[in-house]
């Protein structure tokens, strides 16, 4: 994974967030019976993965990376976007701090699950997991949008303009 490839992840995420900004509160929180039940909770869950694995486990920036149900229920799409922006800061820090240790195993307990036992993962594994996790749930959100009667925008990396694939 290279930094410019993560930019593609952010761009496709923004396409989805922009579409979600157009939803009314009812559609944002409508329980659809799969995934994290609704679009809002799914978006927060996606960002929370970066906060937990990167911000908490790898970077030790927080011991409470996940938001409470009460906080999530009050969030609007702009709040969720800010939660993702903090996740992006964690990703940038991982690229910077682990540049020569991307595949070194880190073994420690999950800071947000005291007593859970040691976990052994590399920064590379955790970054890749966070991204594939995001795309998995993004697909569920696209399905939710369809069930709500919307035509989802193309959120696939291959749907980005050709100029986005040239290295700077």
Give the DSSP letter of residue 133.
Answer: H
Tokens 């509160």 -> residue: 25
158 lies in some domain: no
Q: What is the CATH number of the domain that holds 47?
A: 1.20.120.450
Band (93; pLDDT cuts 50, 70, 90): very high
129 lies in some domain: yes
Torsion (CA) 43, 44, 47, 52 in degrees, nearest 10: -150
User: d(Cα 168, Cα 4) in Å, to the nearest integer?
Assistant: 9
Domain, as residue range, for 100: 42-150
pLDDT at 160 (0 to 100)? 81
User: Which residues make beta-bridge pairs with 108?
Assistant: 119
Provide the sign of the torsion angle of the four alpha carbons 98, 52, 84, 139, taken in this order.
positive
36 lies in some domain: no
- Note the maximum CA span of the chain: 48
57 lies in some domain: yes
Q: Encode pLDDT of 107-158 as tens digits.
A: 999 999 989 999 999 999 999 999 999 999 999 999 999 999 999 999 988 8
27 lies in some domain: no
Structure tokens at 138: 């993004």
5 lies in some domain: no
The number of folded domains in the chain is 1
1 lies in some domain: no
What average pLDDT does the structure give for the chain? Answer: 94
- Contact (CB, 8 A) for 28 and 40: yes
34 lies in some domain: no
Residue 168 has pLDDT above 90, yes or no: no
Q: Is 16 exposed, middle or buried (0-12, 13-18, 19+ CB in 10 A)?
A: buried
Tokens 């923004």 -> residue: 14
Residue 163 has pLDDT above 90, yes or no: no
Provide the sign of the torsion angle of the four alpha carbons 84, 89, 90, 94, taken in this order.
positive
CB 31: neighbour CB atoms within 10 A?
Answer: 8
CB 85: neighbour CB atoms within 10 A?
Answer: 11
User: d(Cα 64, Cα 52) in Å, to the nearest integer?
Assistant: 8
Residue 5 has pLDDT above 70, yes or no: yes
């Amino acid at each position: 994974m290279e930094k410019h490839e993560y930019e593609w992840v952010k761009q496709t995420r923004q396409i989805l967030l922009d579409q979600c900004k157009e939803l009314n509160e009812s559609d944002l929180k409508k329980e659809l019976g799969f995934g994290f039940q609704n679009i809002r909770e799914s978006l927060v869950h996606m960002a929370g993965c970066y906060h937990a694995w990167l911000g908490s486990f790898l970077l030790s920036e927080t011991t409470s990376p996940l938001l409470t149900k009460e906080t999530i229920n009050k969030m609007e799409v702009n709040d969720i976007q800010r939660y993702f922006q903090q996740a992006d800061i964690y990703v940038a820090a991982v690229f910077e701090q682990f540049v020569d240790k991307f595949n070194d195993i880190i073994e420690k307990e999950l800071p947000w699950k005291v007593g859970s036992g040691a976990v052994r993962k590399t920064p590379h594994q955790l970054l890749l997991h966070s991204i594939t996790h995001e795309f998995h749930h993004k697909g569920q959100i696209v399905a939710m949008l369809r069930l709500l009667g919307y035509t989802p925008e193309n959120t696939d990396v291959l749907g980005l303009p050709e100029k986005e694939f040239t290295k700077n």
